[in-house]
Amino acid sequence: MPFEYPRTIRFADTDAAGVVYFAQILSICHEAYEASLQASGIELRQFFSRGAIAVPIIHTAADFRRPLLCGDAITVQLTPTQTGNDSFEIQYEVLQAEGKVAAIASTRHVCIDTATRQRHPLTPELTQWLQRWSPAESAPTDATPLD
């Protein structure tokens, strides 16, 4: 079941043409990611602090289907999928009030040891987060090497 994050497009999200600035869609998606972590009981300050483990984003993509304007009510549907014992990908659908897809995006994340910068297995809290919001049929696959 995907996590749903309701939001309103703000003036600061838009460019001179009055539509959401292309880079801002990834920021909005990251807001949804943070909200899903928090909804799963993960303490954000601790999660995003410079501790022994970090979960950097290693790839992003976004496609725009419809313009988003200041004042538009949207819902970001977030669906994570584990891709390895140390990685996951998140698919985002940005829906307008009438349910039409305005944008789709994805982010790929890898869990690393901050001291060695080497891959590290996902933490138990991330595994629980994945289980909560992932589709029931998803299963880990082999991870792509981090170079």
The residues annotated with a catalytic role in the active site are: 15
Nearest to 32 by CA among 100, 103, 83, 84: 103
Q: In three state form, how does the secondary structure of 11-23 look? A: HHHECCCCEECCC
CA separation, residue 146 to residues 91, 108, 111, 119 (Å):
20, 12, 11, 8
Helix axes 24-39, 124-133, angle to 10 degrees: 100
Cα dihedral sign, 14-16-17-21 = negative
